[in-house]
Chains A and B, each alone.
Chain A
Amino acid sequence: MSQGFSILVDTSRCTACRGCQIACKQWNGLPATETRQWGSYQNPQDLSADTWKLVRFADGVDSTGKVYWNFFSDQCRHCLSPGCMAEAEKGEIVQNEATGAVIFTPKTKDLGFKATLEGCPYNIPRQNPKTKVMFKCTMCLDRITNNQVPACVKSCPTGAMIFGERDKILDLTNKRVEELKKDFPNSKALNADEVRVIYVVKDDPKKYYEYAAGK
């Protein structure tokens, strides 16, 4: 396989404007789900068959008494060796050769949802309860194979998301982590060797989201 593409999600630059969450819905023609205020800015509460990109909000107080509010723009990591594909023997889930995008096809209705979900370290796959078809981020395969960046990346005002060829994104990631370490020694890239959507965090990933760094 070629190097393909990657996305750097630099959470230290994210201000949780949620442009990415809305842009994903818009480009992919996904309907809004009915939500209620539940004591959080995070809405919908979770990913679903109709929500493939979700900004997760986590606030708290650290050991020094300082307040933090971390944002985690969650989506499929497009793993190099996707765990979700373990049971997908009949092309239900495919990996696009040129880009590396992992794509759920309509045939996923024939896959066991539980096994697929368990195969994903990041808690990403979701199923339409009626049709049983599974859905998640496509890396905007239709855009990236037509010289366009993914919709979420396009919408980001602060440069928190950068799309490009994988080797270049890995370089950028390493540089960014080194820079951040000067002020935040716990900074790191999450599983950069295993995933195409690489998150950079400046603190314990659990303070962002339970599955930020995988199960």
Chain B
Amino acid sequence: MTNHYIDLKNSDCLLIMGSNAAENHPISMKWVMKAKEAGAKIISVDPRFTRTSSVADFYTALRSGTDIAFLGGMIYYIIDNNKYFKEYVENYTNASYIVAEKFDFKDGLFSGYNADTRKYDSKNWVFKRDEKGIPEKDPTFQNPRCVIQLLKRHYSRYTPEKVSEITGTPVADLLKVYEMYSSTGVKDKAGTVLYALGWTHHTVGTQNIRASAIIQLLLGNIGIAGGGINALRGQPNVQGSTDGCLLFHLLPGYLRVARASQPSLDSYINANTPTTAEPQSANWWQNYPKYSVSLLKFLYGDKATKENEFGYTWLPKAEDGKTYSWLDIFDELYAGRIKGMFVFSQNPAGSSPNTKKVVAGMAKLDWLVHTNIFNNETASFWHGPGMDPKKIKTEVFLLPAACSVEKEGSLSNSGRLSQWRYKAVNGPGDTISDGEMVSKIMLKLKELYQKDPGKCPEAILNIRWELLDDKKQFDSHKMAKETNGYFLVDKTLKDPSGKDIEFKKGDLVPSFAYLQADGSTSCGNWLYCGSYTKAGNMMARRGKEDPTGLGLFPNWAWCWPVNRKVLYNRASCDPTGKPWNPKKAILEWKEGKWVGDVPDGAWPPMSDKEKGKLPFIMKPDGVAFLYGPGLAEGPFPEHYEPVESPLAKNIMSAQMNNPVIKIFKSDLDKFASNDPNFPIVCSTNTITEHWCSGAFTRWQPWLLEAQPELFVELSPALAQEKGIKNGEKVVVSSIRGDVECVAMVTPRIRPFKIGGKTVHQVAMPFAFGWLFPKTGKDSTTNILTPGVGDGNTMCPEYKGFMVNVKKA
């Protein structure tokens, strides 16, 4: 979230799209309902009328996988009707930037596409810059090559009629949403976007979110109270794990994984440290060397020296352009190229797409170590449906893990708030925390490498592991302090006001502003620098003061970065530092300093031409990207059909699918698009009563009582067509397999009119499996889903694939 949960109450209009907040993030509704009671309007856009829709002021449906069309229409509506927040757009976005001549867009493809490599050359998308390197601008917005003109031209194709033809949303409904939401493009109104897996589970997931970013920037909704783009994330520390480095292309703190083309520390830093010629840009990522060297010092301690590039060469390097995602891992498994696997606290045999391939891949392993609090379909895959235990050589170890209340540590929620949790009870039996497990494995590895060094032993032997307490147990406080970072030598630095400030060797670093690139500081994750300081464990704070009355609660736990609750908050003020909306001012420039939330940098507002800085400090030129040349598919989100579509061609262009997605080629990677055998759109979803694949919750009798069995939601029209009655057993099939479940016939789903034809959609949760409860059938919904991912993130397309439904 750019903002945070409590801040939802400050909003005037909440667009809940790609999220079913009420069912999947029930507590978020506490704040949504507070906003509603203060007069805010709630808009719910979802293929199904959900529990969220039931409290919305306006609901409309769209076909799964057509969000960019829906949002593209809104972008055009906002520009065409002059609903955008002119002063904000002019000062804080790249709307006025002139794009160089090579950028072009024709019939679904941007310039620079290579059909053989399925990749773009983004050099074609750069801005025109003067001899100093400063982007050329046209503040009058008249130049046909300025960003806002290109934006308008791109989305002028997204007329309400065209959008309706693609999404199936009636034109009147589209206009109603556009009108309601764009009413927030004024100084004293805030609109917020709540999204979740409904936007990410697509081959165009990243661009879905980009489209919403464009809308939020046009309306001046970023950086303000009640605004922002708010990803509602998984409860058990999904935010914390991505901050950590869960994703394959990242190191902690969103630093980049080293690539094979970056053999030296210098080459790595040069490739990842942006520069700018814009005099008023803070260009915060210029600090990349400080954060990455401090990370190396955390990893390798005294072994990391200036002479050996702080141990950079010991870091594993990823091949350039290669993805190492979940989908790739299981493709490698299935190809027999991976021999052993650790699976921590996940249930890929239930939660991965195309689970038949996943399970077939696991059967080729020599060993599989799985840690969890219960048995599940992954640990037991070898005796699941269609498996012959006698023929499977995989040795499976199920390690009993302590659950969240049986261990101490931090947990970061969607609002970047890291809250310290105490251990309530000891886990049963032999359970230990996952920190302890990783620690034991690491120490054993070191021991083995000591005995038999093999190749590149430094990568393991030089890892510093000062994380154990007196009893040699993993100590989460030590881990948290190491994550925060230490001074490794005595050091005198300047504080923000320019005064000298002295640090001693062994001091905890109070803020990432003090991290150094010379090896004098260590830091496990620069974003968490400041979370555990001389003053104590900031994440354990429980102060209930709310000085602004806007729900910032600055003394409750601690959020990254530097306890700033709203990112880019200096954009909530005009260029002189006066809040756009004084009634909900999270920040104000008063008597030479910022008052309110922790500002995005202490510099004066940008009207101070000497010292002032632009508000979007994480962007090289200090302004937000309406035109975003950083993503794989191009600078503007464009509608492409899901990999499996009910249509023969994309109504918007000749380019059917996202041109940069990776298509796996195994015999189990089958797709059926525009196929009369699979004419129905299907989306998977989560339900309140179960957690993800249900691996934790199906064992809980009260939750199982509330949601006992797999079902498919379908419209009365489709039920009639297929002769299906409510509550009857049906079989849902995709080209990848069949799943039996119970039909839930409901008016909450309606057929769409798409490109002149009727298209049905159905929806299924994925919270069930074959292991428990025993129903005699395999209730693994993900047998049906295709193993294909987003063009940037490889997040699977669990939503918007093609099936058929018939009576069992």
Is the C-beta of B30 less than 8 angstroms from some C-beta in chain A? yes
| 9-residue interface stretch from B349-357, B573-581, B609-617, B740-748 | B740-748
Is B711 within 8 A of A37, CB to CB?
A: yes
Tell me whether B54 and A16 are in contact (CB under 8 A).
Answer: yes
Are B705 and A44 touching (Cβ within 8 A)?
yes
A157 touches B742 (CB 8 A): no
Q: A59 CA to B750 CA in the complex, in Å?
A: 13
**Chain A nearest CB, measured from B620 CB (Å):** 41
Q: Is A32 located at the chain interface by the 8 A CB criterion?
A: yes
The docked-state distance in angstroms from the alpha carbon of A41 to that of B746 is 11
A17 engages B747 (CB within 8 Å): no
Measured CB to CB, the closest approach of chain B to A175, in angstroms, equals 11
Q: Which one of B51, B702, B727, B747 lies within 8 Å of A60 (CB-CB)?
A: B747
| Interface check A31, CB cutoff 8 A | yes
Are the C-beta atoms of B708 and A17 separated by less than 8 Å?
Answer: no
Q: Are B748 and A25 in contact (CB under 8 A)?
A: no
Residue A174 CB within 8 A of the other chain: no
Q: Are B54 and A68 in contact (CB under 8 A)?
A: yes
| Interface status of A21 (Cβ within 8 A of chain B) | yes
| A60 and B728 alpha carbons, distance in the complex (Å) | 19
- Taking CB atoms and an 8 Å cut-off, the chain A residues in 1-43 that contact chain B are 12-13, 15-19, 21-22, 25-26, 31-41, 43
User: Which residues of the partner chain B approach A13 to less than 8 Å between Cβ atoms?
Assistant: 33, 55
CB distance from B453 to the nearest CB of A (A): 55
Residues on A with beta carbons closer than 8 Å to the beta carbon of B688 = 16-18
Q: Is the interface of A mostly helix, strand, loop or mixed?
A: loop
A71 at the interface (CB under 8 A from B): yes
Within 8 A of B (CB), among A40-64: 40-41, 43-44, 59-61
Q: Which B residues from 53 to 68 make CB contacts under 8 A with A?
A: 53-55, 59
CA gap between A212 and B705 in the complex, in Å: 23
**Which residues of A lie under 8 Å from residue B728 when comparing CB positions?**
39
A159 beta carbon closer than 8 Å to chain B:
yes
Please give the distance in Å from B805's CB to the nearest CB on chain A: 14
- Which residues from chain A contact B707 at a C-beta distance below 8 Å? 37, 41, 43
B669 at the binding interface (Cβ < 8 Å): no
Instruction: Evaluate contact between B706 and A67: CB separation under 8 angstroms.
Output: no
Is B30 a contact of A159 with CB atoms below 8 Å?
yes
Q: Which of B30, B37, B706 contacts A18 (CB 8 A)?
A: B706
Q: Is the CB of B29 within 8 A of A67?
A: no
Instruction: Give the residue of A16, A39, A157 whose beta carbon is less than 8 angstroms from that of B743.
Output: A39
B705 A33 Cβ-Cβ under 8 A: yes
Q: How large is the interface on B (under 10, 10 to 19, 20 to 34, 35 or more residues)?
A: 35 or more
The answer to whether A69 and B748 have CB atoms under 8 Å apart is yes
Contact A26 B702 (CB under 8 A): yes
Contact between chains at B29 and A69 (CB < 8 Å): no
Distance of A131 from chain B, by nearest CB (Å)? 21
**A35 touching B708, Cβ below 8 Å:** yes
Q: Is B161 close to A, CB under 8 A?
A: no
Query: A36, B708: Cβ atoms under 8 Å?
Result: yes
With A35-B708, A36-B708, A69-B748 as known contacts, state yes or no: A25 contacts B702, CB within 8 Å: yes
Instruction: Please state if B49 and A69 are interface contacts (CB–CB under 8 Å).
Output: yes
Closest CB in chain A relative to B645 CB, distance in Å: 26
Q: Evaluate contact between A21 and B49: CB separation under 8 angstroms.
A: no
The 8 Å CB contact of A39, one of B27, B710, B744, is: B744
Nearest-Cβ distance from residue B179 to partner chain A, whole angstroms:
18
Query: Hey, which chain B residues are within 8 Å of A61, CB to CB?
Result: 747
Inter-chain contacts of A40 with B (CB < 8 A) = 726-727, 744
CA of A13 to CA of B708 in the docked complex: distance in angstroms?
26
Nearest to A21 among chain B residues (CB) is B706
Q: Given the complex, which residues of B lie within 8 Å of A38, measured CB to CB?
A: 727, 742
A15-B51, A68-B54 are known contacts; what are 16 more A-B pairs with Cβ within 8 Å?
Answer: A15-B26, A15-B55, A16-B51, A18-B706, A21-B706, A22-B703, A34-B705, A35-B705, A36-B708, A36-B742, A37-B710, A38-B727, A43-B706, A59-B747, A157-B26, A158-B29
13 contacts between A and B (CB under 8 A): A16-B51, A17-B29, A17-B688, A18-B689, A22-B706, A32-B702, A32-B705, A37-B711, A38-B742, A61-B747, A69-B50, A70-B54, A159-B30
**Chain A residues packing against B (C-beta within 8 Å):** 12-13, 15-19, 21-22, 25-26, 31-41, 43-44, 59-61, 67-71, 157-159, 179
